[in-house]
Amino acid sequence: MSGAVWAHVGQPFEERAFDTVILGAGRMGTAAADWLRRTRPEQSLLLVEEGGLPNEEGATLLAAGLWEAPAQATDLAQRTLDCLEELGERAGWQPGVPLLTLETVPGPQSFPTAEALERWPELRGVIDPALWPWVRAQEAGLYRPGALALALGQRAVQAGAGLMLNTRAALVPGGVQLSRLTVTNTHEVVVHEVHQVQAGQVIVALGASGPQHAEESLGLHTRHGRAYVQRPRLNAPLTEQSPALRVPGLLLRPQSGGYTLYPAPRAADPHGYVPVPGRLSGVPVGLRREVLETLLTHMEGLPALASSALEVGRSLSDVPGTWVALPSGQPGHPPVLERLSPSVSLLLGGEQADVLGVGVAQQL
Ligand code: ADP
């Protein structure tokens, strides 16, 4: 039987105990909910999300959604792939997308960039073959992480999970405090009512704020960090068949007739860091300094980045950005599922969640 969905404060909520409460309905939280419904259907489950499903903020919506076969953790990647194939269109799954890694020296599977430019002439203005003379092609798949979270959340609800949206969750001893939010007619978000539920186990899947949340409520220091990432847009005349591109520290994902850029975070941002916009030729732009530095290192090899095709914006709010978790404080670290106390676990996605996220959630 389908579970209840509480989307707005008009719907009465009766306090009760749950076997499991999952905090956060990003792709990690929804993957955990889906998995628990399938493997432990006899247990009660509540999934709580501060925003909507999928939430318009957070790491999930701004993740690239690029699946590629990894060198390690292949079983976790396979589980993620199985899930994407099963959901198909519902997750925006598009298999068989070429991913070109640009190289300066040829590796065993490389071929000349000039050949790639013949096959994909639309990339002629994007790549300078003199600086990136070689490419390595592999097959990847693209999906929409927000659509994945929505599909997984819906499937969990259909299988009996309760879902509470627009509700801020906080860990309290023995359970969870739920603050149901509403918007006033002056557009202020206010707490309408507060509930407490008991939980046999709590899974903290709050994305970048998970570790801090655990620290504040449990007094447990973790080694995890977070970083502010941005997803600038590069307008390029792409077709449906255009490949994804990768250079060190930067992924270019074809999306709606252009590239969305995914500069990798370089390091964890210090506690209390507030993103600061950088300057280009002295003029303030919407990209943070670290992102600009990454793009600047590639402006010769990818000349389109140095043109007006790159949307730099005027202030930070012009360029989509979000906080992402850095498991273990390291960029590129795989997602983690960590037991913080006998009844609380932390589920962190981060940069590798595209490939390994669902697999790690299935370790519950
Ligand atoms: P991940 O990729 O790890 O799933 P996200 O940032 O996409 O990371 O997901 C975390 C989700 O948790 C977001 O949808 C965010 O709105 C939600 N969230 C953050 N803090 C709270 C909170 N205190 N209560 C409920 N939901 C929260």
Q: Tell me what ipTM this predicted complex has.
A: 0.99
Atom of ligand 1 nearest to the CA of 149: 4
Mutate to test the pocket of ligand 1, among 204, 206, 226 (most ligand atoms within 8 A of CB): 206
Residues 118 and 253 in one domain: yes
Domain range for 121 is 98-140+232-319
Distance 12 CA to ligand 1 centre (A): 23
Write the CATH number for 297. 3.30.9.10
Q: Is 247 in the pocket of ligand 1 (CB under 6 A)?
A: no
Q: Is 327 in the pocket of ligand 1 (CB under 6 A)?
A: no
Measuring CA to CA, which residue among 138, 208, 128, 166 is closest to residue 52?
A: 166
Residues 116 and 212 in one domain: no
Task: For residues 113 and 129, give the distance between their C-alpha atoms in angstroms, rounded to a whole number.
Answer: 6
- Structure tokens, 97: 């997308």
Residues 151 and 135 in one domain: no
Q: Is 349 in the pocket of ligand 1 (CB under 6 A)?
A: yes
Residues 219 and 240 in one domain: no
Residues 37 and 147 in one domain: yes
Distance 24 CA to ligand 1 centre (A): 4
Task: Give me the tens of pLDDT residue by residue for the chain, a chain 364 residues long.
Answer: 899 999 988 899 999 999 999 999 999 999 999 999 999 999 999 999 999 998 988 999 999 999 999 999 899 999 999 999 999 999 999 999 999 999 999 998 899 999 999 999 999 999 999 999 999 999 999 999 999 999 999 999 999 999 999 999 999 998 999 999 998 889 899 889 999 999 999 999 999 999 999 999 988 889 999 999 999 999 999 988 999 999 999 999 999 889 999 999 999 999 889 999 999 888 899 999 999 999 999 999 999 999 999 999 999 999 999 999 999 999 999 999 999 999 999 999 999 999 999 999 999 9
Which one-letter amino acid corresponds to residue 297? Answer: T
Q: Is 27 in the pocket of ligand 1 (CB under 6 A)?
A: yes
Distance 212 CA to ligand 1 centre (A): 12
Residues 122 and 238 in one domain: yes
Number of domains the chain contains: 2
- Give the number of other CB atoms < 10 A from CB of residue 206: 28
Residues 155 and 300 in one domain: no
Q: Under DSSP, is residue 344 helix (H, G, I), strand (E, B) or coil? A: strand
Q: Is 28 in the pocket of ligand 1 (CB under 6 A)?
A: yes
pTM listed for this prediction: 0.96
Distance 245 CA to ligand 1 centre (A): 29
Residues 244 and 309 in one domain: yes
| Burial class of residue 305, CB neighbours in 10 A (0-12, 13-18, 19+) | buried
Residues 282 and 157 in one domain: no
Residues 19 and 148 in one domain: yes
